[in-house]
Amino acid sequence: MTPEPTLNPGAASPLYLQLQRSLRGLIQQGEWKPGMRLPAVQDLAQRFQIHRLTVLKAIAGLKNTGWIQTVTGRGTFVADRLPQAPALREPSGFPFEGSALRVHEGELGPWLGETLERAQNRQLISFSAGFPPSDLLPGDALRRIYTRTMKDLGSAAWVYSAPAGHPPFLEAVANWLTSEGEPLLPGWGMRAIPGAQSGLALAVEALTVPGDRVLVESPCYVGTLALLRTLGREAVPVPVDGSGLNPDRLASALQKGDAKLMILVATFHNPTGMTLSRARRERVLALTRAHGVPLVEDDTYADLRFSGQSVPSFRMLPGADHVIHVGSFSKSLAAGLRLGYVVAPESLLTRLTPVQEVHTIALPILSQAAVARFITEGGFKRHVTKLRRALKERRDAMLEALHAHFPSEAEITEPKGGMHLWVVLPEDFSSLELLKDAIPQGLGFAPGPLFFADGRGTNCLRLNFSTHEPGVTREAIARLGRLIHGRPAVAL
């Protein structure tokens, strides 16, 4: 006889998730067969000695994942065709991917727009944004720089720059990169672009056609997935582990011979915050070169290292003549500038140029000239130095709160730079359900399935630690932890 499942009120996993596992186990063991009617809610509550609302929440979760179905006026029944249980699937060996459960694309919504709206909602303490908050921006310094630049430029401030970019801007960026140990090499060039997302779009449109397969990380930056989906390309996931993108799995994906491009965030990976080691970069570079697959490196977070040793970008390694390097000031200076740059061998820049000019013609001079002056006069270096210190303080505050208030079995990354980290909760936990509970409590974050091409990662979440001051972060993470543990959250 199968022993009676028991629930543990003191466990880290909420009672409703424990009940979901127990009910699913009873279905798998054959106590309730496909098509059978489940006991009434009150009977289940008495059997497991829990409140009926806990039963209803567990049943809703089983219904969402296809284990049961409700027939109006008749009751709740075991589904005729059962989904494959996560416990029966072969584990991936890549913990950042989380549970094997999937969600449908329609359950996620238009997250790029919603993330921006939530970041601007003063009633919401949100950790979903991917850009620096206003209190970390050099607003006064930029205002003074813009005023001086407008005066110096006169009417020239309101015209287009040269198509490749305002020459003083390109020169200032090149000098900054050189000071950071990443100079432009012979045969390479640079163009100004309106943010890193624009650079990714340029590469995809110039080097692929609709229907082509593009290799991406798993989990992956949500903007890359949205871009590929919108342009009709197929995202092919390659898993990430604690050392970054796994080269063995990349080799397997490349051997199929149908990949046309690869996009990755090697430094302070979005969303996990991890950094690809030099050894792995060298192997990834060699693999993509051998298979003739151009490699696009989104290096948006490179200026935000606050601990550890820097790792050379792909373009600085030998054999990088198939690399396109995308940088941006959206994270290191101000997102509203919408100003970045693309660095690549001239042969690749030539392929990007017609697409860029069709989209933008040319960028305005004013912001390029202002940023050039900010870099040249040392303001950018002073700002980045302060920003790095602030980001480390905020990361430490979030990690402290997470380890104090989240389940002990949660896996939490500890990035050495950037703006965000990754949390993997117990297997049956749903970050989407948690978000539904969190929003009315004034809390927000980015749920895991946003960052996967195949809808996995249901028990994962990305938290941006740059968004709030340490005290606000500690209090909000404590409240989020209470929601996870099933205890009442403190009202705003």
pLDDT tens for the chain, 492 residues: list them.
445 556 777 554 567 777 887 888 788 778 888 889 999 988 888 888 888 888 888 888 788 777 888 888 788 999 888 765 433 333 456 778 887 677 655 556 555 444 545 555 667 899 988 778 888 899 999 999 999 999 999 999 898 889 999 999 999 999 999 999 999 999 999 999 999 999 999 999 999 999 999 999 999 999 999 999 999 999 999 999 888 899 999 999 999 989 999 999 999 999 999 999 999 999 999 999 999 999 999 999 999 999 999 999 999 999 999 999 999 999 999 988 899 999 999 999 999 999 999 998 889 999 999 999 999 999 999 999 999 999 999 999 999 999 999 998 899 999 999 999 999 998 878 898 899 899 999 999 999 999 998 888 999 999 999 999 999 999 999 999 999 987 443 333
Which positions ≥6 away from 34 have C-beta within 8 Å? 78, 79, 80, 81, 82
pLDDT of residue 22: 83
pLDDT of residue 7: 77
- Of 94, 368, 345, the closest CA to residue 242 belongs to 94
The tokens 């305002």 sit on which residue? 166
List the structure tokens of 176.
């900054």
Contacts 24+ apart (CB under 8 A), 378-385: 379/138, 379/141, 379/145, 380/176, 380/332, 380/333, 381/179, 383/138, 383/141, 383/333, 384/303, 384/304, 384/332
Q: How many CA atoms lie within 13 A of 228 on its CB side?
A: 26
Q: Residue 430: phi, psi to the nearest 5?
A: -110, 115
User: Do 297 and 324 meet the contact criterion of CB atoms below 8 Å apart?
Assistant: yes
Give the Cα separation of 345 and 338 in Å (integer): 23
pLDDT of residue 147: 95
pLDDT of residue 91: 42
User: Do 465 and 391 meet the contact criterion of CB atoms below 8 Å apart?
Assistant: yes
- Of 207, 225, 240, the closest CA to residue 342 belongs to 207
**In one letter, which amino acid is 271?**
P
List the structure tokens of 207.
């080097």
CATH homologous superfamily of 96-135+382-484 = Aspartate Aminotransferase, domain 1 (3.90.1150.10)
Segment 434-479, tens digit of pLDDT? 998 999 999 999 999 999 988 889 999 999 999 999 999 999 999 9
Q: DSSP assignment, residue 81?
A: S
Which residues of the chain does CATH 3.90.1150.10 include?
96-135+382-484
Residue range 155-376, CATH number? 3.40.640.10
Give the Cα separation of 255 and 6 in Å (integer): 48
Give the Cα separation of 419 and 465 in Å (integer): 6
Residue 77, classified by CB atoms within 10 Å of its CB into exposed (0-12), middle (13-18) or buried (19+), is middle
Can you state the percent helix, strand and coil of the chain, rounding each to 5? 45, 15, 40
3-state secondary structure of 216: strand
Q: DSSP assignment, residue 378?
A: T
User: Do 160 and 362 meet the contact criterion of CB atoms below 8 Å apart?
Assistant: yes
pLDDT of residue 492: 32
The tokens 């949100």 sit on which residue? 126
pLDDT of residue 2: 45
Give, rounded to a whole angstrom, the gap between the first and last alpha carbons of the chain. Answer: 49
Give the Cα separation of 281 and 275 in Å (integer): 10
Give the Cα separation of 78 and 92 in Å (integer): 28
Residue 1, classified by CB atoms within 10 Å of its CB into exposed (0-12), middle (13-18) or buried (19+), is exposed
Give the Cα separation of 350 and 315 in Å (integer): 17
Q: Residue 8: phi, psi to the nearest 5?
A: -120, 105
Evaluate the omega torsion of the peptide bond into residue 3 and state whether it is cis, within 30 degrees of 0: no
pLDDT of residue 356: 93
The tokens 């703006």 sit on which residue? 419
Residue range 15-83, CATH number? 1.10.10.10
Q: Residue 144: phi, psi to the nearest 5?
A: -65, -40
Residue 346, classified by CB atoms within 10 Å of its CB into exposed (0-12), middle (13-18) or buried (19+), is exposed
How many angstroms separate the Cα of 152 from the Cα of each of 144, 165, 339, 365? 12, 18, 21, 12
Which residues of the chain does CATH 3.40.640.10 include?
155-376
User: Do 173 and 190 meet the contact criterion of CB atoms below 8 Å apart?
Assistant: yes
